């Protein structure tokens, strides 16, 4: 959008699996962009420096030739395809493509949340962002919350940057307590002069073990408004409908669960009413964070 100059240049969209990723909503959003944008790996981070392998273990599997291989946890920064680079193979579904004026300016970062040396990790990320002339960073997250699966997924957007808050009319988070790597990176970016924004989806806590395509769709909807692209939904719409139907089926067989969901629906409808203020919605999000037992993301 022309009027939102903060994010008119090169934008980095970031998500991490783990603590910040309830229902795999944030990481799935970046994967949707990876599938559709012409991007190539620009840098990866040394697993030995940033991961405790007893907490985030490597995965063994087989490659295309049948050889047994180990995949180590890491984080990868992707950059837009530039002249002279080899394009990635076309997606099988040619209709899955990002459109919009800013598609060639979007960088992506995806990986497992580091388990150690966060300050060093943040410094390395910011050095790469500055070298790539990144003008703004959008962090994606998802947390478990007391919200019903039958209503639109609540989205909370915040920023520590006064210009971002003014241009997008978003809140400044008042949360105090434990944070994940997204907050550490946001702090480092702002200190380096890179404006940031955080977009969080609230995933129903009673279905946290399953991926939540409905939350992924909600994040994509809001992200499009910021980065000025249109992301093809593919099978996500059907997946979201099937997810909602499967949760409803579980509730039908559990009277206690059904009654609890009804109470969440009443609460949600109150907050979504015209009388509810933006401050009330922000306070609700902060309560979700404070009330999380240990993690705002998946177990």
SS3 state of residue 121: helix
What is the pLDDT, as a whole number, of residue 209? 72
Helical ranges in the chain per DSSP H: 25-36, 47-50, 118-131, 162-168, 181-191, 213-227, 236-252, 255-271, 278-291
How many domains does the chain contain in total?
Answer: 1
Residue 296 lies in a domain: no
Tell me whether residue 74 is exposed, middle or buried, using C-beta atoms within 10 angstroms of its C-beta: 0 to 12, 13 to 18, 19 or more: middle
What is the pLDDT, as a whole number, of residue 228? 82
Mean pLDDT computed over 64-86: 84
Residue 58 lies in a domain: yes
Residue 138 lies in a domain: yes
Residue 161 lies in a domain: yes
Mean pLDDT computed over 217-241: 91
Residue 297 lies in a domain: no
Residue 119 lies in a domain: yes
pTM score, two decimals? 0.84
Residue 79 lies in a domain: yes
What is the pLDDT, as a whole number, of residue 201? 96
Residue from 218, 235, 188 nearest 12 by CA = 188
Find all residues with CB under 8 Å of 53, minimum gap 6, and list them: 47, 73
What is the pLDDT, as a whole number, of residue 52? 94
CATH value at residue 234: 3.40.50.10900
Q: Which residues form the domain of 40? A: 5-291
Residue 213 lies in a domain: yes
Going by their DSSP bridges, the two strands 75-80 and 11-17 should be labelled as: unpaired
SS3 state of residue 35: helix
Residue from 180, 173, 155 nearest 20 by CA = 180
SS3 state of residue 120: helix
What is the pLDDT, as a whole number, of residue 129? 97
Q: What percent of the chain has pLDDT over 90?
A: 61
More confident residue, 254 or 89: 254
């Amino acid at each position: 959008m022309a009027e939102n100059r903060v994010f008119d240049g090169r934008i980095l969209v970031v998500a991490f699996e783990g603590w910040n990723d309830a229902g795999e909503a944030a990481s799935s959003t970046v994967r949707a962009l990876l599938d559709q944008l012409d991007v190539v790996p620009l840098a990866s981070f040394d697993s030995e420096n940033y991961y405790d392998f007893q907490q985030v273990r490597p995965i063994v599997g087989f490659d295309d030739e049948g050889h047994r291989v180990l995949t180590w946890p890491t984080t990868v920064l992707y950059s837009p395809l530039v002249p002279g680079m080899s394009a990635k193979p076309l997606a099988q579904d040619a209709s899955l493509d990002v459109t919009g004026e800013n598609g060639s300016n979007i960088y992506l970062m995806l990986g497992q949340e580091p388990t150690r040396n966060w300050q060093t990790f943040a410094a390395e990320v910011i050095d790469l962002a500055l070298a790539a002339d990144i003008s703004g960073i959008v962090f994606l997250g998802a947390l478990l919350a007391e919200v019903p699966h039958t209503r639109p997924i609540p989205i909370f957007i915040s920023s520590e940057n006064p210009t971002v808050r003014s241009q997008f009319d978003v809140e400044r988070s008042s949360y105090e307590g434990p944070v994940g790597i997204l907050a550490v990176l946001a702090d480092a970016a702002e200190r380096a002069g890179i404006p940031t924004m955080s977009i969080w989806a609230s995933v129903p806590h009673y279905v946290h073990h399953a991926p939540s395509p409905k939350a992924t769709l909600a994040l994509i909807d809001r992200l499009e408004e910021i980065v000025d692209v249109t992301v093809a939904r593919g099978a996500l719409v059907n997946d979201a409908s099937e997810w909602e139907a499967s949760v409803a089926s579980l509730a039908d067989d559990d009277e206690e669960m059904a009654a609890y969901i009804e109470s969440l629906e009443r609460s949600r409808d109150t907050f979504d009413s015209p009388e509810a203020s933006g401050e009330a919605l922000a306070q609700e999000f902060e309560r979700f964070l404070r009330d999380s037992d240990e993690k705002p993301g998946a177990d």
